[in-house]
Chains A and B, each alone.
Chain A
Amino acid sequence: MNSSAFWTVCLNRFEQELSQQQFQTWIKTLRTEDAAHDNGTQRVRVIAPNRFVLQWVRERYLRRIEELGQEYFDTPVSITLTLPEAGSAPQPAVVVNKPAVAPTAPTAPEVATPVESPIVALQQPLPEAAAYDKTRLNADFTFDTLVTGRANDLARAAAMQVSQNPGVSYNPLFVYGGVGLGKTHLIHALGNEVLRRNPRAIVRYVHAEDYYADVVRAYQQKSFDVFKRYYRSLDLLLIDDIQFFNNKNRTQEEFFHAFNALTEAKKQIVITCDTYPKDIQGLEDRLISRFDWGLTVQIEPPELEMRVAILNKKAESERIRLSEDVAFLIAKNLRSNVRELEGALKKVLAFARFHGRDISLELAKEALKDLLGAYNRQISLDTIQKTVADYYKIKVADMYSKKRTRAIARPRQVAMWLAKELTPESYPAIGDAFGGRDHTTVLHAYRTISELRLGDHGLNHDLHVLTQVLRG
């Protein structure tokens, strides 16, 4: 069996499973070069055209390739992802079957000893890999993984436009919006897209805090020349959270000069901020006025449907199907930003995985309790008495009265049971709060209710509802 036939199968499967765009961008550019059978393990080497694709495929599709390999060879498969060797000519994205014959590169022994060579190949710091690292971009953040809705479609369209004609269409592109809405994702996507179209472009993502740290370092090391030369050598500068420049005068000055130099040379600048330019605190006017030269777009908080779509997309990338009611539950509970929305999904998935359970509405509710703080909420005895009295439509005063009719005694016992379950108060303290009763009365009430609830569905339901109301 050889890797070439396997790869053909693999491509066919991916073509069915992925969207056309995903398939074209990521899978079709891969090729296999060599396969060997070694101690019962099938080895396949997959070569990615560049570091960007390699990282992407490793994170997204490697597991699937392994699964397909296992299916095809009927034995565990070790897939090694590598970059083309330095010096070898870029090859077209076709399947190449070269059993034990060296590729064009001079390092022939690599193929002759397939057991070690892939590892060696991975460890070599390849120029392309280093170049991508230097951009500080996150390969996960692309236009593909960005969910679009009314809240961000203008911003997305503008970013797409800029990535197609950097330095020409809108310069600078100024993206603003509240915390955790996806500004960073959007500008990373822009950067990745520019690189995809032009792998030679010099792109740099920098958070305003890190830019400030660079200025400080240049100060200390008296290396402003190097600093200036570096930032002016960029084709695309993505600068995040510019509001962090407030009252940092030297940083603002340096940025002002870099800004002028870059725009003059028709190099693209993209800026994010948490507010509209005119509202930024502690920023020089001459800088703010320059932000108006290009295009200013806003990202708004996503509406419910978009939040659900975001959750589905995220789950899909984890190869999990989320039922509608679960997605809806999460989206309803976390409204204000995408970041925490994704945090909530992460929680639900981790919870399900840890407990080995399927993702159901019940499970999601349970998992989300941690996020919302259900267990440790300070609940006072007063609150319990009032809530229980309201629930059973009796007077709060009956909680501490001497009356012993069933209609009053039972709710009182329920309240005592809840006091024991939901507060750390001692039995004597609980007894005191219920009209100076003895702690043995509380203990008796607790036992009675604990026993009764086993056979009495109505009571059990009451206890559930009351617990939920009290925990909020």
Chain B
Amino acid sequence: MQQLILDIRPDTPKRFGNFVAGANAEVLARLEAATRADAVETLYLYGPPGSGRSHLLEATRRESQRPTLHLAGATAGDFDPAPGTLLLVDDVEQLDETAQIALFRAFNAARRDRLALVLAGREAPLRLPLREDLRTRVGSALVFEIKPLSDAEKAHTLLTQAQARGMRLEADLVDYLLRHGRRDLPSLLAVLDALDAASLERKRPPTLPLLREVMQGALPL
């Protein structure tokens, strides 16, 4: 009989402290500065899905010490941040025409109303599919490309993530994972989740043979 698992993921709140910065320390420092009341910063972070920009935006919202408006590009609609607001907009490439105008207005009002703008998207400003007057404003922000982590940083992330899930992960498992799996962080964490689930269902510790089975897709999940 199969052990049913209670599907509770350890949902650790996203904070600056648990973001593995790697080569991204400068971004982190800038974001922290933007959370301070009255700081006037305009930042744009970009990187492919899984690079950590949403984590950073959420962490910024949590750590913010000022009125904060956090919007997703696809559902932003019309908005009008009050003076002093920290405005966070994720997935800017998904802003519709109305939302683009709203963001354009926010850019123009930023200096007068002491707004901080932290925007995130997939592409470099030069390639953003936005109105040209808005696109160039994004391009005038302080732009950061989220840099991928090194192998050592990925291993570190895997170990801490495993710990958060209450798994005891041996170093050789991490090595194996990095050597045999896709090495972007979302893929690695997905395997970790699958291993966790398999381990609980089978009542087997997360060992190399189990990891191998999981990665070969031998186990129905």
**Would you call A370 and B182 a contact (CB within 8 A)?**
no
Contact indicator A373/B126 (Cβ below 8 Å)? yes
Which of B5-13, B130-138, B199-207 is the contact stretch? B130-138
Q: Are the C-beta atoms of A375 and B136 separated by less than 8 Å?
A: no
A179 within 8 A of B: yes
Residues of A within 8 A of B147 (CB): 375
One of A241, A342, A369, A443 near B179 (C-beta < 8 A): A443
Is the pair A340, B136 in contact by a Cβ cutoff of 8 Å? yes
Contact A370–B145 (Cβ < 8 Å): yes
Look across to chain B and name the residue whose beta carbon is closest to the beta carbon of A422: B148
CA distance A429 to B180 in the complex (A): 9
Q: 8 closest A-B pairs (Cβ-Cβ)? A: A373-B124, A424-B184, A340-B139, A343-B140, A180-B136, A370-B145, A339-B140, A179-B132
Q: Are A207 and B108 in contact (CB under 8 A)?
A: yes
User: Is A371's CB under 8 angstroms from B104's CB?
Assistant: no
B45 to A, closest residue via Cβ: A370
* B16: Cβ under 8 A from any A Cβ: no
Q: Is A347 an interface residue (CB 8 A)?
A: yes
- Residues of B contacting A371 in the complex (Cβ-Cβ under 8 angstroms): 124-126, 139, 143
Whether B136 lies near A179 (C-beta < 8 A) is yes
Contacts of A339 in B (CB 8 A): 136-137, 139-140
- Chain A residue numbers with a CB within 8 Å of B145 are 369-370, 373-376
B123 interface residue (CB < 8 Å to A): yes
Bound-state Cα–Cα, A207 to B144, Å: 29
A346 to B111, CA, bound (A): 16
Q: Which residues of B contact A (CB under 8 A)?
A: 26, 29-30, 46-48, 51, 101, 104-105, 108, 111-112, 123-127, 132-133, 136-137, 139-148, 179-184, 187
Closest to B111 in A: A138
A contact residues around B47 at 8 Å (CB): 375-376
Chain A positions within 8 Å of B182 at CB level: 424-426, 429
Contact yes or no, B179 A373, CB < 8 A: no
* Additional A-B contact list (14), CB under 8 Å, known A179-B136, A210-B105: A179-B132, A209-B108, A241-B133, A339-B137, A340-B139, A343-B125, A354-B26, A370-B144, A371-B139, A375-B145, A378-B48, A425-B183, A426-B181, A429-B182
- Whether B26 pairs with A428 at a CB distance below 8 angstroms is no
- Chain B residues with CB under 8 Å of A347's CB are 142-143
Can you offer 16 A-B residue contacts whose CB atoms are under 8 A? A179-B132, A180-B133, A180-B136, A209-B104, A209-B108, A343-B142, A346-B142, A347-B143, A370-B145, A371-B143, A372-B126, A375-B148, A376-B146, A425-B182, A425-B183, A426-B183
Q: Is the CB of B179 within 8 A of A343?
A: no
- Contact, CB under 8 Å: B101 / A376: no
The interface of chain A, by Cβ under 8 A from chain B, is 136, 138, 178-180, 207, 209-210, 241, 274, 337, 339-340, 342-343, 346-347, 350-351, 354-355, 369-376, 378, 424-429, 439, 443
A210 CA to B104 CA, complexed, in Å: 11
Bound state CA distance, A428 and B216, in angstroms? Answer: 12
Contact of A340 among B29, B125, B142, B180 (CB under 8 A): B125
Chain B positions within 8 Å of A376 at CB level: 46-48, 51, 145-146, 148
Residues of B within 8 Å of A425, CB to CB, are 182-183
Residues of B within 8 A of A241 (CB): 133
Is the beta-carbon distance between B126 and A136 smaller than 8 angstroms? no
CB distance from A305 to the nearest CB of B (A): 21
Which residues in A have their C-beta under 8 angstroms from that of B141? 343
Q: Evaluate contact between B133 and A179: CB separation under 8 angstroms.
A: yes
**Chain B residue contacts of A207, Cβ below 8 A:** 105, 108
**Is A372 a contact of B124 with CB atoms below 8 Å?**
yes
CB neighbours (8 Å) of B187 from chain A are: 424
CB distance from A336 to the nearest CB of B (A): 8
* Contact assessment for B112 and A337 in the assembled complex, using a CB-CB cutoff below 8 Å: no
Query: Of all chain A residues, which has the CB nearest B188?
Result: A424
Provided the pairs A209-B101, A339-B136, A376-B148 are in contact, do residues A427 and B126 lie with their beta carbons within 8 angstroms? no
Give bound CA distance, A136 to B133, whole Å.
Answer: 20
Find the B residue at minimum CB distance from A369.
Answer: B145
Q: Is the CB of A343 within 8 A of B144?
A: no
Closest residue on chain A to residue B29 by CB atoms:
A354
**Chain B nearest CB, measured from A209 CB (Å):** 6
Residues of A within 8 A of B123 (CB): 373
Name the residue on B nearest A209 (C-beta). Answer: B105
Question: Whole-angstrom distance between the alpha carbons of A136 and B180 in the complex?
Answer: 60
**A370 / chain B contacts, CB cutoff of 8 Å:** 143-145
Give Cα A340 to B124, complex, Å.
12
Tell me the bound Cα distance from A108 to B62 in angstroms.
Answer: 48
Residues of B within 8 A of A340 (CB): 125-126, 136, 139-140
**Residues on the A chain within 8 Å of B46, using CB:** 373, 376
B108 → chain A closest CB, angstroms: 6
Distance in Å from the Cβ of A56 to the closest Cβ of chain B?
A: 14
Q: How far is the CB of A274 from chain B (nearest CB, A)?
A: 7
Residue numbers in A under 8 Å from B139 (CB-CB):
339-340, 343, 371
Residue of A whose beta carbon sits closest to that of B30: A350
Assess the B136–A426 pair: CB atoms within 8 A: no
CB distance from A41 to the nearest CB of B (A): 24
When C-beta atoms are compared, the residue in chain B nearest to A420 turns out to be B183
CB distance from A160 to the nearest CB of B (A): 25
Which A residues are in CB contact (< 8 Å) with B183? 424-426
Residues on B with C-beta less than 8 A from A343 are: 125, 139-143
